[in-house]
């Protein structure tokens, strides 16, 4: 009897420790996303905020990984074997989106080269501004506008601008130029970020009460990490240029979880931002992209309407738009490298976690990969 009592006490302590670990994980996820949701409209979707989002994901992922390692014995038992396999499958699909996000960052770097040309052309100390400087700036603005056209969004303000710039070009030349953008994508030309997100979101449902009871609540942590993974990937696609971007996925967020309020709030705010008129045809919702789009549009109008000699008012407007371009370009110069490192770190964490998950399940349990 004493031996049975000892085993009972040990099992009770083990159960209490597991509950404490799982509860602590839910609290930390909630705290991190509460902090992210507290961002003002001027901070949300900025490069700095995106880095904070990816940092939060990496921290959540590390803690979730530790939970799985501490509960290896549960992972091969139903229903955890199925849930773990589904999480691994979603993680594999997430890797493509990480690659697409990295490609999008590289695309922005290409825009920077044109921004530098515009800045050099119009930012010269030589006064007054000459027609030659405006011609060089106009050519760079044309190239930038073309580079920012998304093949799937030909109705954007930039494609409209390109058509006005290229009115003397043949339709054949215009078509071949417009469809040469995707040579640098690491995903196939038929790949779609929107379809990949929907695939990850499919069949994502909260665990039932009997499933939670069967694994001491471990399934709640798996579901939580699935939701956080989907939300972070969805936000990455929203913010950064991606092949076939699309945000209208079915993503129900249950209210019974402590983190759901913050995640639902962020989801609604980002979705509302994407529906604004000025963002409908944007290459990405990143704040700095919008600054470039706005300043470029204004500056292009000024360059097109320039009559020499320039009036003082015209010069002042050019200088103001040029200042906005330089601010956005500087934000890219400082922030893109750290942002890319965060995306690469997310990729690496997912790969490591997948390997450990397969080891825990055993090769015979998950032969699909």
176-191 average pLDDT score? 54
pLDDT number for residue 171: 40
Q: Between these two residues, 3 and 333, which has the higher pLDDT value? A: 333
Indicate whether 192 pLDDT > 90.
yes
Burial of residue 213, with CB atoms counted within 10 A of its CB: 0-12 exposed, 13-18 middle, 19 or more buried:
exposed
pLDDT number for residue 3: 52
H helices of 216-259, where? Answer: 218-239
330-336 average pLDDT score? 93
pLDDT number for residue 177: 35
pLDDT in tens, 221-265: 999 999 999 999 999 999 999 988 888 888 878 899 999 999 999
Query: How many domains does one find in the chain?
Result: 1
Please report whether residue 6 resides in a domain: no
Give the whole-angstrom CA distance, residue 184 versus residue 162. Answer: 21
pLDDT band at 187 (very low <50, low <70, confident <90, very high): confident
303-317 average pLDDT score? 89
pLDDT in tens, 77-130: 999 999 999 999 999 999 999 999 999 999 999 999 899 899 888 876 666 788
Give the whole-angstrom CA distance, residue 254 versus residue 261. Answer: 9
pLDDT number for residue 126: 62
284-289 average pLDDT score? 94
Which own/partner contact pairs does 234-238 have at CB distance under 8 Å and 24+ positions apart? 234/197, 234/267, 235/45, 235/50, 235/53, 235/266, 235/270, 236/50, 236/54, 236/97, 236/98, 236/101, 236/343, 237/97, 237/100, 237/101, 237/193, 237/194, 237/197, 238/45, 238/270, 238/274, 238/284, 238/285
Q: Between these two residues, 40 and 280, which has the higher pLDDT value? A: 40
Range of the domain at 135: 44-70+78-361
pLDDT number for residue 49: 98
124-128, 295-299, 318-322, 343-347, range with the lowest pLDDT? 124-128
Please report whether residue 346 resides in a domain: yes
């Amino acid at each position: 009897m004493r031996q049975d009592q000892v085993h009972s006490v040990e099992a009770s302590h083990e159960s209490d420790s597991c509950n404490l670990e799982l509860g602590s994980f839910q609290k930390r996820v909630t705290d991190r996303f509460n902090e992210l949701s507290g961002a003002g409209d001027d901070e949300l979707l900025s490069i700095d905020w995106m880095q904070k989002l990816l940092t939060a994901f990496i921290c959540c992922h590390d803690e979730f990984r530790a939970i799985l390692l501490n509960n290896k014995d549960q992972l091969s038992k139903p229903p955890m074997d199925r849930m773990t396999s589904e999480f691994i499958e979603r993680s594999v699909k997430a890797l493509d989106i990480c690659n697409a996000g990295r490609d999008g960052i590289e695309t922005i770097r290409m825009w920077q080269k044109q921004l530098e040309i515009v800045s050099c052309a119009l930012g010269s100390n030589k006064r007054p501004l000459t027609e030659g400087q405006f011609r060089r700036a106009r050519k760079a603005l044309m190239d930038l506008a073309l580079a920012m056209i998304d093949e799937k969004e030909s109705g954007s303000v930039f494609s409209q601008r390109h058509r006005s710039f290229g009115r003397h070009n043949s339709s054949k030349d215009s078509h071949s130029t417009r469809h040469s953008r995707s040579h640098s994508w690491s995903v196939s030309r038929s790949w779609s970020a929107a379809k990949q997100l929907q695939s990850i979101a499919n069949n994502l449902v909260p665990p039932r009460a009997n499933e939670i009871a069967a694994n001491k609540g471990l399934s709640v942590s798996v579901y939580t990490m699935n939701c956080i993974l989907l939300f972070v990937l969805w936000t990455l696609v929203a913010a950064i240029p991606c092949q076939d971007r699309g945000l209208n996925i079915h993503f129900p967020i249950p209210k019974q979880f402590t983190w759901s309020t913050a995640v639902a709030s962020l989801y609604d705010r980002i979705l509302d931002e994407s529906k604004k008129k000025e963002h409908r045809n944007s290459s990405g919702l990143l704040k700095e992209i919008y600054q470039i789009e706005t300043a470029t549009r204004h500056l292009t109008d000024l360059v097109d309407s320039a009559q020499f000699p320039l009036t003082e008012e015209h010069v002042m407007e050019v200088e103001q738009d040029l200042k906005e371009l330089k601010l956005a370009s500087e934000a890219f110069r400082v922030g893109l490298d750290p942002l890319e490192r965060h995306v690469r770190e997310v990729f690496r964490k997912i790969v490591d976690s997948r390997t450990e998950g397969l080891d825990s399940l055993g090769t015979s349990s998950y032969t699909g990969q």
